[in-house]
Amino acid sequence: MSLQIGQKAPDFTAETTEGKISFHDWIGDSWAVLFSHPKDFTPVCTTELGYMARMKPEFDKRNTKIIGLSVDPVTNHAKWAKDIEETQGTAPNYPMIGDTDLKVAKLYNMLPYETPGSSEGRTAADNATVRTVFVIGPDKNIRLMISYPMTTGRNFDEILRVIDSMQLTARHKVATPVNWKNGEDVIIVPAVTDEEATAKYPQGFKKLKPYLRTVAQPK
């Protein structure tokens, strides 16, 4: 069965560069970003891991933990980290899962369940589908999934933008319009009546259509 947004994120235990974890316990009351990689020492992923290390303070501000996964041993991750620091300026400052038995990749539908063997002998091309970003809420439900091709670097600024939107809309009865950025006007959801919106937003709101009403972002 494929994973879907709103479904409980599968729990697992795994070895990481920061010790053994139980995934749901590791998330705790935070949000989490799990982003996967098809192989250690791959060029696009090298740039991604370094960028995420530099962005970590921004995720910390949003009570969001980040964790990487690659279908290689943790010992390889440690060697790769040196290359990442040398070429990108920052080594990973978050845990990296070693998924040598492909358990997590299969659990998250990034590889077919019937895939035989382990990571040994597998190439990046064999694992091309292991390039997905999952955002998981404190309730352990999947809030976002995006899969990328191997030749296209991921836009983690976009992931940060989406987390801003999801955290805002979890607190208020609003939605965010196309290309929204933190601080811009938002949409009042249809479930809120005009009367309720007037009481909630005494500063006023714009009614473009009965179903399309915008208001300044709530604080």
Give the residue numbers marked as catalytic: 45
For 60, residues 6+ apart whose C-beta sits below 8 A from its C-beta are none
How many other C-beta atoms lie within 10 A of the C-beta of residue 82? 10
Which class for 105: exposed (0-12), middle (13-18), buried (19 or more C-beta within 10 A)? buried
Structure tokens at 7: 């479904």
How many other C-beta atoms lie within 10 A of the C-beta of residue 2? 7
φ, ψ at 117 (rounded to 5°): 75, -160
The length of the chain in residues reads 219
Maximal C-alpha separation, the chain: 64
For 129, residues 6+ apart whose C-beta sits below 8 A from its C-beta are 38, 110, 111, 147
Q: Mapping DSSP to helix (H, G, I), strand (E, B) and coil, where does residue 114 land?
A: coil
Q: Mapping DSSP to helix (H, G, I), strand (E, B) and coil, where does residue 50 land?
A: helix
What is the signed CA dihedral for 166, 172, 178, 180, rounded to 10 degrees? Answer: -80
